[in-house]
Amino acid sequence: MSSASRLRPGEAAPAPLEVVIVGTDGLAEIVAEAARLAAAIEAGGHRATRFLTHPDDGHPPVFPAADLVVVLGGDGSILRAARWMGYTQAPVLGVNLGHLGFLADVPRHDACEAVQEIAAGRFRLVDHLMFETEILRGDAVSLRELGLNETSILAGPPFSMIEIGLVVDGEPATTYRADGLIVSTPVGSTAYNLSAGGPIVRKDLDAFVFTPLNPHTLTNRTVVDSAARTYEILVPEPNAGSSCVVDGRVVDRVVPGDRIRVRRAAPRFTLVETGRHGYYRTLRDKLGWGGGLRAAAAPVSRGGT
């Protein structure tokens, strides 16, 4: 974990903890919740800094040093917080004030209690893969972005298919004819990748998921490969509107000759978990993945009785 956080599972935290509360400024419920939570944290002998910004802020002021970052909102707010922390990640507690909240797992009414549990050492830390996306233009790296969910190469206007080459550790792997390609982490596998028909990959694994968008060839299927490898994406003839998108943000156009490199980043994104929600319970609760679990309580007839 690339953090100077003093949090240690099983140990009461030294006081005072530096807690940074992150949320969207201008939204009344988030401003009010941030004030309520800050008061509770300070009443417990710790320090709270409210870091409220607007979603369209490109690069906000330097992120404060933190032992714990409490993000108010949804998964998009957590992605922004991870990007703003950059290469010095601190443990994140996600408080769900959004919709799905796959990463933001704590209900708002449990937020104060969750912080108390963390201060008492009753929590666990779960590290997740982060990645770097670099655009190599000519002999130089023209852009470098840190991400958590996915890098997407999108064909864009005039919305014709493009050819996308995938190179793994310097070896050509395949060429897709498609509307784009998603390179997802396990955390991102339940986001854009899932909507595009890709698989769910357990979020604490170190792997990348490659899912083509509307591929022209039936044999083009999702591939899961090790995060220990370096991947390059080549688009020899991009459309005028082809773009590289990292965690939902367009970071640059894709022009002929570009090489888009994706590889594991040095920092790890760390979630703080205080409850007893297992991974599969989260899938059931957040994604409606329950299937026949309700029916499983009743005996199933095997026939002949």
What count of Cα atoms within 13 Å lies in the side-chain half-sphere of residue 56?
Answer: 1
Query: Is there a contact between 183 and 209 (Cβ–Cβ < 8 Å)?
Result: yes
- In 3D space, the residue among 280, 270, 277 whose CA is nearest the CA of residue 125 turns out to be 270
Q: How far is residue 5's CA from residue 80's CA, in Å, rounded to a whole number?
A: 19
From CA 179, how far away is CA 110, in angstroms rounded? Answer: 42
DSSP state of 299: P
Contacts with 188 (C-beta within 8 Å, 6 or more apart), sequence order: 148, 149, 150, 209, 247
Helix H, strand E, coil C: the string for 123-178 is: CEEEEECCEEEEEEECCEEEEEEEECCEEEEECCCCCCCEEEEEEECCEEEEEEEE
Catalytic residues: 75
Q: How far, CA to CA in Å, does 56 sit from each of 61, 76, 77, 167, 251?
A: 13, 12, 11, 34, 13
Helix (H) or strand (E) holding 45: none
